[in-house]
């Protein structure tokens, strides 16, 4: 099993640098940096990380094909690859409708746009002159004037068609999920995409991009996961609740509690509304032994990389070290 770790660049560069170096020293193989317009620029932060680390693979987790042209994405990640001596990975997904609405980007034809962007980025990385007559992107003899190197492309995907696209075009798929049932459900679409491209499973990385919270004290770990779990619940489609047998009553209580938190500051109310089964379904939370158990189940459902996503634990530093000491070697 490979291990990755997600960081949101909502902290100063030196804090991010500290945590990523700690993760590298703790044995994590990948670090994925999220990309939303309202946080620090993903490539500026990756530049620092590329220069300050020596082993960990690094890249956006995930950027999108709306903010900037695929030519700029191809050039930016190739620059990180040069700065990091060949450790760059590109995570790209359809983007986030909520933040797009705020900056006037209309989220149309995400599948088509993702296909065209990934095809263009791959062609530019091959070093050739690229002409591409797409529905969305039109390129006429574009070319990078420096060697990109071999940069794996991972696609963020949840929906069935995007899962197929990820398997067809990507080197891996980053699935925002923490439970084996989600990966059982994704299997059919991943296999359909792999078959379409004539690829086998063992050349494809299935990544559980999970919310994780680890602590020696399991209760503390689980409590620390509640706010993140609440946001995941609030943003998940109903099909997910059916899959996990979670009542819409409980879901609506969480959505209402989040509303109250935003309007009246009642954050304790959010934690109260999150149930134990929600924590189990939407996060990997608990003691190291419990987390190891869940990772074994995920491996059986075809997962080949687990990414420790927010909150990582009640104390980020201690949890990163605990994962490195007790979970990665297990
Ligand atoms: C678009 C959407 O695809 P999806 O796979 O569910 O995408 C949801 C998320 O993956 C996407 O929002 C990601 O960008 C979210 N995301 C992040 N999004 C961000 O903006 N920033 C991040 O840092 C980020 C991290 C991240 C990490 C892992 C991960 O899995 C996702 C992450 C969807 O609806 N897919 C449907 C298909 C929709 C469809 O058919 N659309 C048609 C028509 C639509 C139209 O008419 O506009 C088309 O595209 O042509 C499907 O897969 O079946």
Atom of ligand 1 nearest to the CA of 113: 49
Predicted confidence at residue 255, as pLDDT, reads 97
Predicted confidence at residue 330, as pLDDT, reads 95
Instruction: Output the CA 157–ligand 1 centroid distance in Å.
Output: 6
Atom of ligand 1 nearest to the CA of 111: 49
Atom of ligand 1 nearest to the CA of 35: 23
Predicted confidence at residue 62, as pLDDT, reads 98
Instruction: Output the CA 226–ligand 1 centroid distance in Å.
Output: 24
User: For a pocket test of ligand 1, which of 90, 156, 207, 208 has the largest count of ligand atoms closer than 8 A to its C-beta?
Assistant: 156
Instruction: Output the CA 74–ligand 1 centroid distance in Å.
Output: 20
Ligand 1 atom 33 nearest Cα: 159
Predicted confidence at residue 288, as pLDDT, reads 98
The set of protein residues with a Cβ atom below 6 angstroms from ligand 1 is 34-36, 61-62, 64, 93-96, 108-112, 156-162, 174-176, 209
Atom of ligand 1 nearest to the CA of 209: 28
Local confidence pLDDT in tens for the 330 residues of the chain: 999 999 999 999 999 999 999 999 999 999 999 999 999 999 999 999 999 999 999 999 999 999 999 999 999 999 999 999 999 999 999 999 889 999 999 999 999 999 999 999 999 999 999 999 999 999 999 999 999 999 999 999 999 999 999 999 999 999 999 999 999 999 999 999 999 999 999 999 999 999 999 999 999 999 999 999 999 999 999 999 999 999 999 999 999 999 999 999 999 999 999 999 999 999 999 999 999 999 999 999 999 999 999 999 999 999 999 999 999 999
Question: Tokens standing for 120?
Answer: 């263009």
Predicted confidence at residue 225, as pLDDT, reads 98
ipTM of the complex: 0.95
135-155 in b/e form (b: 16+ CB < 10 A) is: ebbebeebebeeebbebebbb
Predicted confidence at residue 303, as pLDDT, reads 98
Instruction: Output the CA 211–ligand 1 centroid distance in Å.
Output: 18
Instruction: Output the CA 26–ligand 1 centroid distance in Å.
Output: 32
User: For a pocket test of ligand 1, which of 8, 99, 161, 182 has the largest count of ligand atoms closer than 8 A to its C-beta?
Assistant: 161
Atom of ligand 1 nearest to the CA of 93: 14
Instruction: Output the CA 163–ligand 1 centroid distance in Å.
Output: 10
Handedness of CA 39, 96, 59, 299 (dihedral sign): positive
0.90 exceeded by pTM: yes
Ligand 1 atom 9 nearest Cα: 157
Atom of ligand 1 nearest to the CA of 165: 52
Alpha carbon 231 to chain centroid, angstroms: 15
Atom of ligand 1 nearest to the CA of 166: 5
Ligand 1 atom 23 nearest Cα: 34
Residue 230 in contact with residue 274, Cβ under 8 Å? yes
Ligand 1 atom 25 nearest Cα: 62
């Amino acid at each position: 099993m490979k291990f990755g770790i997600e960081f949101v660049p909502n902290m100063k560069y030196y804090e991010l640098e500290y945590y990523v170096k700690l993760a590298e020293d703790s044995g994590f193989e990948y670090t994925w940096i999220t990309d939303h317009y309202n946080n620090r620029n993903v490539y500026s932060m990756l530049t620092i990380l590329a220069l300050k680390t020596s082993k960990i693979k690094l890249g956006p987790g995930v950027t999108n094909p709306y903010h900037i042209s695929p030519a700029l994405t191809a050039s930016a990640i190739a620059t990180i690859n040069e700065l990091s001596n060949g450790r760059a990975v590109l995570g790209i997904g359809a983007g986030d409708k909520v933040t797009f609405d705020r900056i006037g980007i209309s989220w149309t034809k995400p599948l088509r746009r993702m296909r065209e962007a990934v095809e263009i980025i791959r062609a530019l990385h091959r070093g050739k002159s690229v002409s591409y007559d797409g529905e969305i992107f039109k390129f006429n003899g574009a070319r990078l004037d420096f060697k990109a190197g071999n940069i794996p492309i991972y696609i963020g995907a949840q929906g069935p068609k995007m899962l197929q696209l990820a398997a067809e075009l990507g080197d891996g798929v980053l699935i925002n999920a923490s439970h084996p049932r989600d990966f059982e459900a994704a299997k059919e679409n991943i296999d359909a995409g792999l078959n379409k491209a004539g690829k086998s499973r063992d050349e494809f990385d299935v990544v559980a991009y999970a919310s994780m919270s680890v602590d020696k004290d399991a209760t503390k770990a689980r409590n620390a996961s509640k706010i993140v779990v609440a946001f995941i619940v609030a943003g998940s489609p109903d099909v997910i609740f059916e899959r996990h047998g979670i009542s819409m009553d409980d879901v609506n209580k969480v959505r209402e509690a989040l509303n109250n938190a935003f309007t009246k500051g009642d954050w304790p109310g959010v934690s109260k509304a999150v149930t134990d089964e929600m924590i189990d379904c939407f996060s990997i939370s608990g003691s190291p032994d419990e987390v190891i158990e869940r990772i074994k189940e995920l491996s059986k459902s075809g997962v080949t990389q687990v990414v420790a996503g927010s909150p990582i634990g009640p104390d980020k530093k201690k949890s990163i070290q605990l994962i490195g000491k007790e979970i990665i070697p297990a």
